Amino acid sequence: MIIRSVVVGPLQVNCYIVADKISKEAVVIDPGDEPELILDLIRKHGLSIRYILCTHGHFDHVGAVSDIKEVAHVPVLIHQEDLFLYEAASTAGTMWGFEVSPQPKPDSYLKEGDTIRFGTSSLTVMHTPGHSPGSVCLFGDGQLISGDTLFAGSIGRSDLPGGNLGRLKESFRRLMALPEATGVLPGHGPSSSIGEERRENIFAGELLL
């Protein structure tokens, strides 16, 4: 797989474009803002979009879904338990002082164990609630796109609507069971690896007990 990232929006969200090397089919993950920046990167690499995937429904991760879908005419997928956040993204953005357009209705829902195929490549869906009820991670080719469940050195907040610290602890433990060499590509901030997070994450000692 080919993985490219671009940081978008005032909250500095990592939007990932994951593409199949052979077919050049790609998925766009968490297009939170600046759709033209995302589309320019796709055009630059000669890619065609197959799906728009949302790791969760918070406004800073879905703000450009509508614009990308309008150009690409492809399905939007999100976990059903985050539908209430996705549908409220415009209102939530306003409360935080940002303008966010209403988003299109999802075309389908992500579920634990789903395989998202694009060309000869694929990503497996891991339902990792805690930051939000429907948070997911996407795993493939030794890489984990972790949304706001896991960051380099930290974890996502659990005090937002729908968050749950107990479920986040369970999700953290599950991710730490992945191979140490697994790359971690989070929703904000720098990349890491599972091995590094086992050793360095400030929550590891508490959450792995």
The CATH number given to whatever domain includes residue 106 is 3.60.15.10
The DSSP call for residue 82 is G
> What mean pLDDT value characterizes the chain?
95
For residue range 92-131, list pLDDT tens digits in order.
777 777 777 889 999 999 999 999 999 999 999 999 999 9
**Among 149, 152, 147, 185, residue whose Cα is nearest residue 2:** 185
Cβ atoms 6, 35 nearer than 8 A: no
CA distance 205 to 159: 21
Question: Can you say whether residue 56 is alpha, beta or left, with left for phi > 0 and alpha for psi between -120 and 50 degrees?
Answer: beta
What tokens appear for 208 in the block? 């792995």
What tokens appear for 42 in the block? 């796709």
Amino acid at 45: H
Tally of structural domains, the chain: 1
Cβ atoms 53, 38 nearer than 8 A: no
pTM exceeding the 0.75 threshold for the entire prediction: yes
As a whole number of Å, the CA-based R_g of the chain is 16
Range of the domain at 132: 2-207
For residue range 147-190, list pLDDT tens digits in order.
999 999 999 999 999 999 999 999 999 999 999 999 999 999 99
* Residue found by looking up tokens 């191979």 in the block: 179
